[in-house]
Amino acid sequence: MAKAQAIAVVGQAVLGILADNIPQTEFTNARFELYQTSNFTSPMEEGISLFLYRVEINSSLRNLPARTGLDGISRRPPLPLDLYYLLTVWAKDVVKQQRILGWAMRTLEDAPVLSASRLNNFGPESDVFQPNEKIELIYQSLSLQDLSNLWSAFKVSLPMSVAYIARVVGIDSTISMEDAAAVQTRQLDFVKN
């Protein structure tokens, strides 16, 4: 499972995949940025923003067993998280906006699984994910009402956006679990009535 920095690394990796595959001749000025709410009031002129708008514990994997690490130490179970992102395209021309959106969705559909080697190449940390880990990136359908509710919270007009879920980001615990010694003998006391 991954270190606590995994949440930050996943968003950077998604943007990195897009930045590495952008057709430079078609989208020469495109930028790729992680956004927070304040960025929506003065967005970039052209490119793609990725906004982490929700994090949930994956309920189907919530009760994973304790895990023994490569160092042989048993630790508390990992925390399985699903990360909900809003991918927003920005351009002054609506046709260009739609072309960027189509290209981005196709690119992410072609790379639905983020391997540990790909994830560990983004951000300042290089060993956040263990070699056998992977994150699944899934398109999520949001209703117009859900999108409207989200954008009205930012008090901005509704930009062209799609939602994705990065599933399952397992955050390792740093707390070790002490193993009790094996039972050697049992003593049973009987009481006569």
- pLDDT mean over 24-35: 92
Domain assignments of the chain as residue spans, ordered by start: 6-171
Query: Whole-model pTM?
Result: 0.82
What element of type H or E holds 21?
helix 6-21
Domain 6-171 annotated CATH 2.40.128: no
- What's the rounded Cα separation, in Å, for the pair 92 and 172? 43
pLDDT of residue 82: 96
- What's the rounded Cα separation, in Å, for the pair 110 and 99? 17
As a whole number, the mean pLDDT across the chain is 85
- What's the rounded Cα separation, in Å, for the pair 171 and 38? 27
Report helix, strand or coil for 60: helix
For β-strands 47-57 and 31-35, DSSP reports them as parallel
pLDDT, tens only, 67-120: 666 677 777 778 899 999 999 999 999 999 999 999 999 999 999 999 998 888
Map tokens 């950077």 to a residue.
Answer: 12
CB atoms near residue 52 (< 10 Å): 17
- Phi, psi dihedral angles at 112 (to 5 degrees): -75, -15
Query: Residue 39 to residues 44, 66, 103, 154: CA-CA distances in angstroms?
Result: 9, 40, 23, 10
* 193 Cα distance to chain centroid: 63
Q: Is the separation of the CB atoms in 48 and 87 below 8 Å?
A: yes
Q: Is the separation of the CB atoms in 9 and 172 below 8 Å?
A: no
Query: Residue 114 to residues 13, 15, 185: CA-CA distances in angstroms?
Result: 8, 12, 50
- Say whether pLDDT at 1 is over 60: no
> Of the candidates 192, 141, 134, which has an alpha carbon nearest to the alpha carbon of residue 164?
141
Q: Is the separation of the CB atoms in 162 and 99 below 8 Å?
A: no
> Of the candidates 7, 11, 51, 15, which has an alpha carbon nearest to the alpha carbon of residue 31?
15
- Say whether pLDDT at 186 is over 80: no
